[in-house]
Chain A
Amino acid sequence: MTRLSASIHGWLLLLPALALLALFTHFPAVATLIDSFYSTPRGARGSVYVGLDNYLTMVEDPVFWTSLVNSIWFALGTIPISIALAILMALWVNDRIAGRTLVRMAYFTPTILPMIAVANIWLFFYTPQYGLLEQVLGTLGVPSHNWLGSPSTALTCVIVVAIWKEAGFFMIFYLAALQQIAPHLAEAAALEGASRWTFFRRVQFPLLMPTTLFVLVNAVIGAFRTVDHVIVMTRGGPDNATSLLLFHLYQVGFSFWDTGYAAAITAVLLAILATLAFGQYFFLERRVHYR
């Protein structure tokens, strides 16, 4: 095969996928960026170039900052815990524990249930007085609390739902990776008298690093993409305590109809995701050895 024909073949194979990506990812992303420098057209008034005006609006918008901070807390709350739980679940299910098929099935169910419906069920769990959480805590003598209706607990409640939804999904990846670790490593470690914890920390965890990188990228994206349950459970309230960046974007774009400003928020969101992705890549690449 000549170099030229290899090039042609290669590009031909790529063409369908790249064409669709260009149409539905690259073009709209660039268009959004351009739009962020134009004002929102309103009726007869067309869209005009306004430079950085939309970005200045953003700097002055307190809800934007609240949402940004909430998103960061949401990410910090969901990502480490759901990954840690996923690893724990994978380790458990990997061992020959009692009823492991059922347990594995249980961990995976949230992935299958649609968020739009499940969020309503969680709403019941959090309902004051007769909600499940209250019924359980009430028997333990804990005073009643309005979980979703208090700014101090609402975001945590939303985080718990997100962890519940995602951990089982990540578990599958870890489970697959654990099964690939050669059994002789465990035997060797045992011969040297390493404890279970040492074995995990020194052998299993480093070998799981590529999976962790992969899961981490997914978790970060997920943290900035999850919005269904916020729409159903709190609509960003109380007083923006659960307003995440994508939810704010949805409101600005589809309730306020401020497309110029929405484009600016999208641009910032994309910049954050890009920074995180590159950061993860360069930071972790040094610590991960791909085979």
Chain B
Amino acid sequence: MNGPMRVDPYEPRGVARVVESAGAALLALFWVLPLLYALWTAFHPAEYSTRFTPDAPLTLENFSRAWAAAPFARYFLNSFLLVTLVLACQFVLCTLAAYAFARYEFPGRELAFLLVLVQLMIMPDVLIVENYRTMSRLGVLDSIPAIALPYVASAFGVFLLRQTFKTVPRELDDAARVEGANALQVLMRVYVPLARPVYIAYGLVSVSYHWNNFLWPLIVTNSVESRPLTVGLQVFSSGDQGIDWSVICAATLMTSAPLLLAFLLFQRQFVQSFMRAGIR
């Protein structure tokens, strides 16, 4: 952490601390309630999905039913490929664009920046019909790149990285150039390492967004080979048969487990990098 720990005079003590902890814990309980419910229901037979008695028998059957209901292994792979592809492309494209906005003076820069910011408001989610046509013309329908393409140039990413790059001292930049580095080398050696926390923070936001994205992948994919997990999950959304909460919960846990585990394991690093990223 940064520097020696100072004593915060507004840090709650005594009764105040107890009250604050209790309030925070209560809200936290409310916030994890759906997850707790999912855990309860996934591991118990269907008739206990609405009754919370301690003597309810445990079972793994819901998981095997959920697993059998859809080729989740393949969907896992698809989601993983999708998220990796999106993230890799976003990093490259946003880094280049942010660098141009932060460190280059050229005519039309302000206009170009505005054009980028437009995407903050006009999200790809609203332009589904037109984008579907475009994908059809490009001949990439029903593929993982088709899911990724509209999101790859991210205004959010460009904006964040531009803010960060602007805080990099000019002297570092100049020093590297004196040593004979060209623009791209300066970018890679000076700017990118300094912005590492931003990449981590942005990466997690992006990963959780695309891991959970539903409407666009649903429309643009047709086959098992390209569908991500969320689209696979809709097997369980209400149909003729009514809702089977046990299997929904089992499937939810299975599909969210990788992200939940990753967050559990890396939450320290993640939160810290978010803090160091100074996103504002």
Interface contact A112-B31, CB-CB below 8 Å: no
Interface contact B158-A17, CB-CB below 8 Å: yes
Residues in B whose Cβ lies below 8 Å from that of A16: 92-93, 96-97, 153
Residue A92 lies at the interface, judged by CB distance under 8 Å to chain B:
yes
Interface residues on A, range: 35 or more
Residue A124 lies at the interface, judged by CB distance under 8 Å to chain B:
yes
Contact with B along A276-287 (1 / 0, CB 8 A): 010000000000
Residues in A whose Cβ lies below 8 Å from that of B153: 16-21, 24
Interface contact B9-A225, CB-CB below 8 Å: no
Cβ of A127 to closest chain B Cβ, rounded Å: 8
Closest chain A residue to B251 by CB distance?
A117
Residues in B whose Cβ lies below 8 Å from that of A249: 126
CA distance A17 to B156 in the complex (A): 12
Residue B172 lies at the interface, judged by CB distance under 8 Å to chain A:
no
Count of B interface residues, CB-CB < 8 Å: 98
Residues in B whose Cβ lies below 8 Å from that of A9: 100, 104, 183
Cβ of A241 to closest chain B Cβ, rounded Å: 19
Residues of B within 8 A of A (CB): 6, 8-12, 17, 20-21, 23-25, 27-29, 31-35, 37-38, 49-50, 92-94, 96-97, 99-101, 104-109, 112, 115-116, 118-131, 134, 149-150, 152-153, 155, 158, 183, 201, 205, 208, 211-212, 214-215, 229-230, 233-234, 236-238, 243, 245, 248-249, 251-252, 255-256, 259-260, 263-264, 267-268, 271, 274-275, 277-280
22 A-B pairs (CB sep. < 8 Å): A6-B104, A10-B100, A11-B106, A13-B100, A18-B97, A26-B115, A28-B127, A28-B131, A32-B127, A95-B12, A96-B11, A106-B29, A112-B260, A114-B212, A117-B256, A121-B248, A124-B37, A124-B245, A125-B37, A186-B10, A199-B10, A217-B120
Known: A25-B122, A26-B118, A175-B274. 5 other contacts (CB 8 A): A13-B104, A95-B17, A117-B252, A176-B201, A232-B237
